[in-house]
Amino acid sequence: MNVLFEPSGERLILFAVIGIAFLLLLIIKFKMQPLLAILFAAVLIGVGVGMPPQMIIASINKGIGNTLQSIALLVGLGSMFGAILELSGGAETISTTLVKTFGEKKSVWALGITGLIIAIPVFFDAGLIILIPLAFGLAKKTGKSTLFYGIPLLGGLAVGHAFIPPTPGPILVAAMLNADLGLVIALGLVCGAIAMVLGGVLFGSYVGKKYHIPVPEHAQATMELSKENRKLPSFGTVVAIILTPLILILLNTASGALINNGAESLKPLQPVLSFVGTPLYRAYDCHVARAGAAGR
């Protein structure tokens, strides 16, 4: 028997805020594993708004199941791809090439762009571990504050991780809002680039000039390890690998928009572009929608 449950909007907002604060407290103060902290916070919110116990359990199960079926494959494949890029030295190739191209005086731009690109396939923490020796090395060479180089790098990594798929956050948001992933990527690149420039390059330059933070002594060993000689993949190969899935998704989105606006000549290509450029969660949603329509 289904129970109708309709809490007041004020109560929902109040306990949502309390739940988020409780979640942050468990993770930051008590160092609890994030998954367990999320479960405890979800139970707290459910109890707070007056949900029956069985409904709380069912709601948590449904939320986890819907989330995993939407993003599990994309996140899993993205993690594998990021690990390959990390272990092969692809991230180092991009960073060193861009720094050489921009030159020492404009290296902050190179670090910001590097962070933005690397965060697309590589998780934030892994990208930071890989690339921070480069920022430390530049700071030591020029005598400038580590903030001058570190903040642009961190800004690029944070923005890329938060705005651009295949990182979990943007994929989950796109799945929950039923948004076109191609548009999410396109807008994420534009908004992310602006945020990286303002919050990374410009703010980092300002703070780096105002506060001088030297390279930490314990970072010397990390910097020496990063100088290990090994054969790295070419810059073109790495960039092509990173951009290929993004370009395929964008082509699928663009072709659909053009066909809807009268570009009939693209219709023969649409099945191919749709096959290679449709995200897995979107393909799943389309299959469910067709099944539901057939059932009706």
Q: How many domains does the chain have?
A: 2
124 and 14 within one domain: no
In a domain, 14, yes or no: yes
85 and 47 within one domain: no
Mean pLDDT value across residues 208-227 = 71
Distance between CA atoms of residues 61 and 65, nearest Å = 6
Residue 2 has pLDDT above 60, yes or no: no
More confident residue, 17 or 263: 17
Token couple for 9? 């909007």
The pLDDT of residue 288 is: 40
167 and 109 within one domain: yes
User: For 84-95, what is each residue's pLDDT tens digit?
Assistant: 777 777 877 888
102 and 140 within one domain: yes
Place 285 in a pLDDT band, splitting at 50, 70 and 90. very low
258 and 122 within one domain: yes
| 137 Cβ neighbours under 8 A, 6+ residues apart | 223, 226
The helix/strand count (H/E) of the chain reads as 14, 0
159 and 89 within one domain: yes
pTM of the model: 0.67
Distance between CA atoms of residues 71 and 68, nearest Å = 5
How many other C-beta atoms can be found within 10 angstroms of the C-beta atom of residue 79?
A: 17
**Domain of residue 275, residue span:** 81-295
The pLDDT of residue 22 is: 96
Residue 76 has pLDDT above 80, yes or no: no
28 and 130 within one domain: no
207 and 88 within one domain: yes
98 and 43 within one domain: no
258 and 124 within one domain: yes
195 and 138 within one domain: yes
- 150 touches 204 (CB < 8 A): yes
